[in-house]
Structures are given as C-alpha cells and as structure tokens.
C-alpha cells in the first residue's frame, strides 16, 4: 500500500477508489514488459497519467517518452509527424525531418485519442507494431524502430470498428493489455479529496484562503453526474475560488456552477431496434386485418360453392343467422375472387382490409377484436418454440422486449 501511495504522489493521482487502484496495479504489472497497452475511459478522467507510470517503471525509462494527441494533428500532416518525411515530398517540405517513431527509438510513444487516426495512418501504425518497420513520407527506404506504443481513447473503439472508422486488426494489436479508467461519478468520496486538493492548489496560486464545502454542498457534489469528470471538477473549483467571496460554499452557490443540475432526467434514447419494433408492431396489425379479410374471402367462396352445388336452401335453413344470410346475399352479387399476391405493401393491405371488413354489423364487431387475434398468434408462436421468447419474438417480427410486455399485458400463461 505504501508503494501505491508513493506512485500516486509522484504522478499526481488522487483517490482511493478500488477501480482506480486496480488500474494503477495493472499499469505496474505490465510496465516491465514491452506489450502494447490500450487505455480507455471518458474524457477528463486522467488517462494521460498512466502511460507515464508505465514508462517510468519499464526498462525504457531512460529513453524518450513522447505524448502525441492524434486528434489535434491535421489529417494531411499526421503521417509526416509520426513517421517523418523527405525533402520535397510535399509543398513546404524544405528539408528532411524525423518523425516521432524515429525520435523515440528505444523509448515509448503515447498515442492519445488514437481512434481519431485516419485509416491510412492506421495501416502504417499496424506495420510498426507488427514488425517495427516504417517509411518516411516521400521515401522508399524502409527503416526500423524499437518503440513501445501506449494508446488511449475516450470513444467506444468497438463501435468505431462497426462503423468502419477503426481497423479491427489494429484494435487487437493495441489492446494486448487493456486498462480502464473509471469515471468520476463512480468514485464516491474521491470527489471530496479531489475538490480539496484543487481548492488548496488554487488558494496558493491566487494567494487567497481556500474554499470549503458545507455538508449540504457535499451531497450536491456527490450526486452530480460530472460529464466532464476530473477536468470539469478542477475547472469548477477554480471558477468558485476566483469568483465567490464567501469561502464556505453552500448548495445554492455550487449549483450555479453545475450545468443542468436541476434539469429533469431525460428518458433513455430509443435504439434502432426499438424503432424497428414499433414499425413491425404496426405491420402486424395490418397483417391481422389482411388475414381476417382472407378468412372472409374463404367463407364467401364456401357459400358460393354451396350455391353452385344446389345446397343453398339447406345452408340457409341450418344457419338462419344474419351473418350467413348477408354473406349469401353479398356473394351472389360479388365479383369473381382474385388471388391475393403473397406480398403487398402495408398501406395497400391496410386500405384493402378496411374496405373488405365492412360487410355486416356482425363482421365489423368481430374485426375489432384485434387483441384476441394477437393473443392467439403469440400463443401459437410460444407453443411452436416451447416457450422460448426470443425465437417466438423473431417469428412474430417483434422485439423480445415487446413480446414480454404483451405477455404481461394480456396475462398469457407460459
């Protein structure tokens, strides 16, 4: 524990949260090796301290340590910055220049915001990681370098891969040892330690008494989400130190410096799958109407066959209901039935279904029982797949979440 505290003091790492201690421990374990490391975490969590820890406790500690912010270098010059260029290789290249990988030979390079690298540069970086080889811009000569690469990103690299913004092979090459830095909102009382440290630092810097929090203000500090993490906390502490005359900070004063603190929590963003489920659910209703229309057509065909076969009177006597009478009447005057195409647009199905379900009062009443038809379809799907909701949901064309909601709504027993 003493060594851990020494490391924290040396590199300005403040806090006792278990996730933070775990990240430091992993950094110390991997430091003696030459493995690549990928550090992930939200913006402002302090990722830049961990590459320094790794470099300082490695066998390369006497070599060069270069930190590169990949997002701050224009795309047109990033290759030149990293790998160097030859004289005359592009406009403005008045002389040859070494790149960071050449300068840091035998040392460590920290590539911050590595997900911002262009795809063409990612190919070059992958080659360096695999073979240690690179080529200067405008040159054909292959050069070698012995550099350890530590990368960091505040974006979800897996999603960047899905959207073809980051190479999957490069990700696996960089992610040999992953280190995740926890966000400030998860670190509990570490927030108070950081606030007090920043307050003391700014008091010394601006030669004024340090600000302090009331007990109520501490609760506000703890309950805030801190989207900007440690960087935001530091900025807020500096603003309060300079602007406020009172040194004891109340909740009302603190809230003035916390954006959207009193705003209601917004609902979760609906994912694409949910949008698709809503659309599919509407399509199911159209499909039910169309199926009911088809049933009506089949019934009319049956009546027509009875009429043609001479069993009209028998059918009339045995089924002296208004529905049958109206069906027979409508069938006599109906046009020949046309086969329905297997697939039709939802709007066409919807409009045609509405037109054909208005034969009689009784039929209209039956057509309004959509819930019963939906329950029947859900039960059939669940029976088909032995109660497996995921497979049943796929069969029905809805999401598993929507299926679960309807099972609960209709009280369907599995």
pLDDT at 366 over 50: no
pTM as predicted = 0.62
- How does pLDDT run across 21-36, given as a tens digit for each residue? 999 999 999 999 999 9
The pLDDT of residue 203: 96
For 13, the token pair is: 């790492």
* Mean pLDDT score, 56-76: 95
Higher-pLDDT residue of 383 and 126 is 126
pLDDT at 364 over 50: no
Contact 293, 352 (CB under 8 A): yes
The pLDDT of residue 144: 96
Which of 74-78, 107-111, 375-379 has the highest mean predicted lDDT (pLDDT)?
107-111
- How does pLDDT run across 215-249, given as a tens digit for each residue? 999 999 999 999 999 999 999 999 999 999 999 99
DSSP per position, 377-402: HHHHHHHHTTT-HHHHHHHHTS-HHH
pLDDT at 263 over 60: no
In angstroms, the Cα distances linking 149 to 90, 125, 393 are 27, 10, 46
Report d(CA 2, CA 377) in Å as an integer. 66
Report d(CA 248, CA 254) in Å as an integer. 10
State the average pLDDT for the chain: 82
Contact 42, 229 (CB under 8 A): yes
The pLDDT of residue 338: 45
Report d(CA 344, CA 341) in Å as an integer. 7
Torsion of CA 295, 301, 303, 308, to 10 degrees: -170
> Going from the N-terminus, what domains does the chain have, and what CATH number goes with each?
2-182 (3.40.50.300), 185-255 (1.10.8.60), 272-410 (no CATH)
What number of helices (H) and strands (E) belong to the chain? 20, 9
Report d(CA 24, CA 11) in Å as an integer. 11
Q: How confident is the model at residue 47 (pLDDT cuts 50, 70, 90)?
A: very high
- How does pLDDT run across 155-187, given as a tens digit for each residue? 999 999 999 999 999 999 999 999 999 999 999
Report d(CA 341, CA 64) in Å as an integer. 72
- How does pLDDT run across 392-411, given as a tens digit for each residue? 888 888 888 788 788 888 88
Higher-pLDDT residue of 181 and 307 is 181
The pLDDT of residue 369: 59
Report d(CA 59, CA 32) in Å as an integer. 6
Q: Are strands 65-69 and 108-112 parallel, antiparallel or unpaired?
A: parallel
The pLDDT of residue 293: 74
């Amino acid at each position: 524990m003493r060594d851990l505290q020494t490391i924290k003091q040396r590199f300005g790492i403040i806090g006792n949260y278990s996730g933070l201690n775990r990240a430091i421990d992993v950094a110390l374990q991997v430091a003696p090796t030459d493995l690549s490391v990928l550090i992930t975490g939200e913006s402002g969590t302090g990722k830049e301290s961990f590459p320094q820890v790794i470099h300082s406790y490695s066998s390369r500690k006497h070599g060069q340590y270069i930190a590169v912010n990949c997002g701050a270098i224009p795309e047109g010059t990033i290759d030149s910055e990293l790998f160097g260029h030859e004289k005359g290789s592009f406009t403005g290249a008045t002389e040859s220049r070494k790149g960071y990988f050449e300068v840091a030979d035998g040392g460590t390079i920290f590539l911050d915001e590595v997900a911002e690298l262009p795809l063409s540069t990612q190919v070059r970086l992958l080659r360096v990681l695999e073979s240690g080889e690179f080529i200067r811009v405008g040159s054909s000569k292959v050069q070698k370098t012995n550099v350890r690469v530590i990368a960091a990103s505040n974006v979800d690299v897996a999603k960047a891969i899905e959207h073809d913004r980051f190479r999957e092979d490069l990700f696996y090459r960089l992610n040999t040892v992953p280190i995740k830095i926890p966000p400030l909102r998860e670190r509990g009382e570490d927030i108070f330690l950081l606030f007090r440290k920043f307050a003391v630092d700014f008091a010394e810097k601006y030669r004024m008494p340090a600000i302090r929090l009331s007990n109520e203000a501490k609760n506000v500090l703890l309950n805030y989400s801190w989207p900007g993490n440690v960087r935001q906390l530091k900025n807020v502490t500096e603003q309060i130190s300079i602007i406020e005359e009172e040194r004891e900070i109340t909740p009302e004063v603190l809230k003035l410096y916390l954006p959207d603190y009193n705003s209601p929590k917004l609902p979760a963003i609906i994912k694409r799958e949910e949008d698709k489920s809503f659309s599919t659910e509407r399509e199911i209703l159209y499909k039910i109407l169309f199926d009911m229309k088809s049933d009506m057509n089949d019934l009319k065909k049956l009546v027509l066959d009875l009429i043609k076969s001479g069993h009209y009177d028998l059918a009339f006597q045995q089924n002296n209901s208004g529905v049958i009478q109206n069906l027979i009447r409508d069938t006599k005057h109906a046009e020949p039935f046309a086969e329905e195409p297997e697939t039709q647009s939802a709007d066409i199905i919807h409009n045609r279904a509405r037109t054909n379900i208005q034969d009689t009062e009784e039929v209209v009443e039956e057509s309004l029982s959509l819930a019963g038809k939906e329950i029947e379809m859900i039960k059939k799907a669940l029976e088909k797949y032995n109660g497996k909701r995921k497979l049943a949901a796929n069969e029905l064309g809805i999401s598993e979440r929507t299926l679960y909601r309807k099972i609960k709504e209709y009280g369907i027993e599995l």
